[in-house]
């Protein structure tokens, strides 16, 4: 019973934060709608996203042939239904953004935690290593790696994640440096608890909150990076993503602008939604950001 009361209290505090923070609330609503559409894509898609129809470059609202559903967002040059591709593309773009951000969060947290807590030479070596990554243009590094190893979606997710971790590493390092001098950490050391145990049981759990906010923003960065790669023709051609749709609509901007415009607007809205969540979490974690309101 006590455990249920604790959970209820935590849920109550979370709801209060969401209700009083307009940015966080707006971002969550947009993301929940997007996730719902992506999950329901097999059910609500009017067409198979790979199906070719006879309506080539049909404008939005065109009625389907032989009693088929209307093409509410039009079709592309091959007759693919844009709405169906948008719904399935949402699944791909979200998966890439979430996976890449999760990889960056795990790698950055571990590296930053080790650097900040162990300090000394370990910290100096890791800081120099992080600086090398910071100074290297990550997008061009991604281009090189994708060009060498191929544009498979798995490679794209891993590469984006492994080039996006330095920001999280810096945040976690700062948190670890601050936490290692706290009384409860000194008490753990005095009781003989190992450094690794202290780092994983106390340092990382207590310093993870800024990483959560930053990782949320990085989801949008992963989606944008994938869209950029696909726009340049380096995305996975075997899957449907918003970036691939924008690339397919690039030659049709003057004849059928909706082919590229619809996924482009979707990318902008999705990036904005995750940014609103990340910024809202930052304001919750660091209330001083609201001081100027």
Quote the tokens at residue 238. 């075997």
Report CA 135 to chain centroid distance, whole Å: 22
Predicted TM-score of the model (pTM): 0.85
Taking the mean position of all CA atoms in its chain, how far away is CA 62?
34
Q: Which residue has the tokens 């969060």?
A: 105
Shortest CA distance to 227 belongs to which of 240, 212, 211, 214?
240
- Among 154, 136, 114, 144, smallest CA distance to 236 is for 154
Residue 139, phi-psi category: left (phi > 0), alpha (psi -120 to 50), beta (remainder):
alpha
Looking at the DSSP bridge assignments, the partners of residue 71 are: 62
- The region that residue 119 occupies, defined by phi over 0 for left and psi between -120 and 50 for alpha, beta otherwise, is left
Range name among 74-88, 148-162, 177-191 with the lowest pLDDT average: 148-162
CA angle 94, 270, 12 (to 5 degrees): 85
Cβ-Cβ contacts under 8 Å for 145 (sequence gap 6 or more): 155, 159
Identify the top-confidence range among 17-31, 192-206, 228-242.
192-206
Question: Is it true that domain 21-173+208-290 has CATH number 3.30.310?
Answer: no
Both tokens of 141, joined, read 């590094």
Domain ranges in the chain?
Answer: 21-173+208-290
Task: Kindly report, residue by residue over 187-204, the tens digit of the pLDDT.
Answer: 888 888 888 888 888 888
43, two tokens? 């059910």
Q: What is the pLDDT of residues 51-61, one digit of tens each?
A: 888 888 888 88
pLDDT score of 1: 45
């Amino acid at each position: 019973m006590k455990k249920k009361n604790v959970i209820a209290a935590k849920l109550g505090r979370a709801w209060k934060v969401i209700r009083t923070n307009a940015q966080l609330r707006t971002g969550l609503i947009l993301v929940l709608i997007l996730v719902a559409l992506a999950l329901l894509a097999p059910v609500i898609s009017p067409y198979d996203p790979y199906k070719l129809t006879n309506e080539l470059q049909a404008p939005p609202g065109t009625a389907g042939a032989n009693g088929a559903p209307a093409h509410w967002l039009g079709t592309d040059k091959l007759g693919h239904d844009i709405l169906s591709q948008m719904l399935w593309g949402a699944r791909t773009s979200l998966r890439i953004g979430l996976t890449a951000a999760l990889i960056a969060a795990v790698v950055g947290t571990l590296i930053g935690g080790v650097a900040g807590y162990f300090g000394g030479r370990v910290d100096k070596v890791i800081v120099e290593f992080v600086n090398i990554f910071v100074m290297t243009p990550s997008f061009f590094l991604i281009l090189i790696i994708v060009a060498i190893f191929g544009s498979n979606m798995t490679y794209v997710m891993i590469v984006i994640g492994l080039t996006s971790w330095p920001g999280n590493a810096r945040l976690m390092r700062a948190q670890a440096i601050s936490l290692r001098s706290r009384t409860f950490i000194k008490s753990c050391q005095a009781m003989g608890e190992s450094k690794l145990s202290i780092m994983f049981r106390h340092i990382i759990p207590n310093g993870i909150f800024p990483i959560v906010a930053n990782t949320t923003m990085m989801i949008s960065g992963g989606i944008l990076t994938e869209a950029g790669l696909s726009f340049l023709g380096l995305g996975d051609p075997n899957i449907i993503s918003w970036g691939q749709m924008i690339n397919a609509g690039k030659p049709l901007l003057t004849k059928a602008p909706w082919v590229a415009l619809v996924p482009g607007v979707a990318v902008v809205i999705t990036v904005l939604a995750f940014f609103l969540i990340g910024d809202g979490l930052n304001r919750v974690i660091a209330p001083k950001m609201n001081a100027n309101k």
